[in-house]
A and B are shown apart, each in its own frame.
Chain A
């Protein structure tokens, strides 16, 4: 039984959970997935927007402006990487100049500091790899890059350290009301809470529907991306946007906070809210569209492509409020771009809203907003590295050669609160599998470490969700009497040849 249950452990849900963990109230954070950040948080551009893009007067604008400056302190407290590299919205034609000027004015109206329009010469000296056609750009020094997974993981860990109970594999199938309590019903059991916060991303309208007809609906919009090798990371120095269109901010090119190059996303409305497949056509579109920004993007260095879904609200703005018909039920829904930027401000707002509405939630003593420092081994000075290895020799074994991650870091990621229990969980937290070999070499070793640290058989370790098994068993466990080896030579074999070219 909980005072508050938060449905959805993405960046919104985890930050809200962390805010609420300041109070003595029992808080539960639920997710249908096997780990945090299973939905939109897992697959977006990781950009902290300056705030010139959102319509003035909207919640998007308000929370973007409030959220942006919070990131320095937030990322320090959570010990996650954040880089305020600034952004450029580039006009590639004279007519696009108007759009840039419009965004500039909108930014001023929204209260964004430091905006400037820079002209071609300065632009090309800042960004020599931009396409020749670049005319001018809106420079927003406040924009930055972050790893959204890291934020969600760190926030969940910090929330759990402060007493929040994190419950995975709990898809909410129905919500019933019972004497001032909400009963969340899942396939394996039920959870009771006095208040609910709906952070269910792409399914937020479905969750809302379980208590009352929603005043909004969510449209899933897929966006596909390319990730390029770190060797390509220096192509641009800022987040580079094209001029936005009605469809959205368009395909961008940016360095990621880890040093890779990120290219994408497109925007495509889809019916099936579980469809995360990348497609040849849309990836080709992303590639062509990125060509407008620079002809020098080395697509030969692509190491991976992925896609994510945005929870686009039909109201075109965030829905962050208590449900009128059902007091105690709060929505933080329709959080599409600039959702990540807005997240810490949304979390704060909901904390205040809850405290006010509930009437004095008592603060806990001993709340610590700071997560225990993460060891990024390769970033340590040599003396510290050796000191660490003397204390714990596992820091002397490099497991992931591409990203230079040690066994000590992997073991630490497993044993923290809300720690890694899956292959992707390790990848999200400490990066093995994100490099150019994409887990080819480190995969078997990470598997082994997970099995050992969790006391499980290697065959029980999964990639991400509970059904994503990696191994089917040990060798030497079955013989197949049906099997035989062909004893008649070539003439009778069933291979198909399709001409010799």
Chain B
């Protein structure tokens, strides 16, 4: 199996360094082109175990809006993104909701909770 030689764009901060990761295998990787240590960590993780924060909305009943914005409270593996979207899309939440409230704990066994990113109340009846 040939070695690893990839260029990625770091997404940790707005600079977006182009980082080159090389190595014979996943255990022996070198990183270049990053302007900081966080970039190096990101680049290595991106090759070995790429993860993202998933941010979307979930259906909410009786709230001031029909959708509640949510996020995973830690990064999940990239391949879990669409499977997690399916789970979130089937969910329904009841207002009122507090910011940070857990909507779906440990989604698909990723260890990440899906949490509300805002509070949403029940609007007074007109």
The short answer to whether A and B are in direct contact, CB under 8 Å, is yes
Q: Is the CB of A491 within 8 A of B57?
A: no
Q: Does A472 contact B (CB under 8 A)?
A: no
Contacts A475-B57, A476-B58 given; indicate if A491 touches B6 (C-beta within 8 A).
yes
Q: Does A281 contact B (CB under 8 A)?
A: no
Q: Residues of B contacting A488 with CB < 8 Å? A: 6
Complex Cα distance A226/B49, Å? 54
Given contacts A476-B57, A476-B58, A478-B89, 20 further A-B contacts (CB under 8 A): A475-B89, A476-B59, A476-B88, A476-B89, A476-B90, A477-B89, A480-B82, A484-B82, A485-B78, A485-B81, A486-B78, A487-B78, A489-B6, A489-B8, A489-B46, A489-B50, A490-B8, A490-B9, A491-B5, A491-B7
- A479 contacts which of B9, B78, B85 (Cβ < 8 Å)? B85
Q: Is the CB of B58 within 8 A of A489?
A: no
Q: Residues of A contacting B21 with CB < 8 Å? A: 489
Q: Residues of A contacting B90 with CB < 8 Å? A: 476
Q: Residues of A contacting B5 with CB < 8 Å? A: 491
Q: Is the CB of B79 within 8 A of A485?
A: yes
The B-contacting residues of A in range 465-501, CB under 8 angstroms, are 475-481, 483-491
Measured CB to CB, the nearest residue on chain B to A482 is B82
Complex Cα distance A426/B8, Å? 49
Complex Cα distance A491/B9, Å? 10
Measured CB to CB, the nearest residue on chain A to B59 is A476
B31-54 interface mask toward A, CB cutoff 8 Å, 1 = contact, 0 = none? 000000000000000110010100
Q: Residues of B contacting A477 with CB < 8 Å? A: 89
Residues of B within 8 A of A (CB): 5-9, 21, 46-47, 50, 52, 57-59, 67, 78-79, 81-82, 85-86, 88-90
Contacts A490-B6, A490-B8, A491-B6 given; indicate if A475 touches B67 (C-beta within 8 A).
yes
Complex Cα distance A480/B82, Å? 8
- B7 contacts which of A475, A476, A490 (Cβ < 8 Å)? A490
Q: Residues of A contacting B7 with CB < 8 Å? A: 489-491
Q: Is the CB of B79 within 8 A of A484?
A: yes
Residues of A within 8 A of B (CB): 475-481, 483-491
CB-based A-B contact count at 8 angstroms: 45
Contacts A475-B57, A490-B8 given; indicate if A485 touches B89 (C-beta within 8 A).
no
Complex Cα distance A481/B85, Å? 10
Q: Residues of A contacting B67 with CB < 8 Å? A: 475-476
- Chain B proximity of A185: nearest CB distance (Å): 44
Of B52, B79, B82, most A-chain CB atoms within 10 Å: B82
Q: Is the CB of A485 within 8 A of B58?
A: no
Q: Residues of B contacting A490 with CB < 8 Å? A: 6-9
Q: Is the CB of A483 within 8 A of B9?
A: no
Q: Residues of B contacting A484 with CB < 8 Å? A: 79, 82
Measured CB to CB, the nearest residue on chain A to B82 is A483
- Chain A proximity of B75: nearest CB distance (Å): 12
- Chain B proximity of A418: nearest CB distance (Å): 29
Q: Residues of B contacting A481 with CB < 8 Å? A: 82
Q: Residues of A contacting B79 with CB < 8 Å? A: 484-485, 487
Q: Residues of A contacting B52 with CB < 8 Å? A: 485
Measured CB to CB, the nearest residue on chain A to B54 is A485
Of B21, B47, B50, B57, most A-chain CB atoms within 10 Å: B50
- Chain B proximity of A488: nearest CB distance (Å): 8
Q: Residues of B contacting A478 with CB < 8 Å? A: 89
Complex Cα distance A477/B88, Å? 11
Contacts A479-B82, A479-B86 given; indicate if A487 touches B6 (C-beta within 8 A).
no
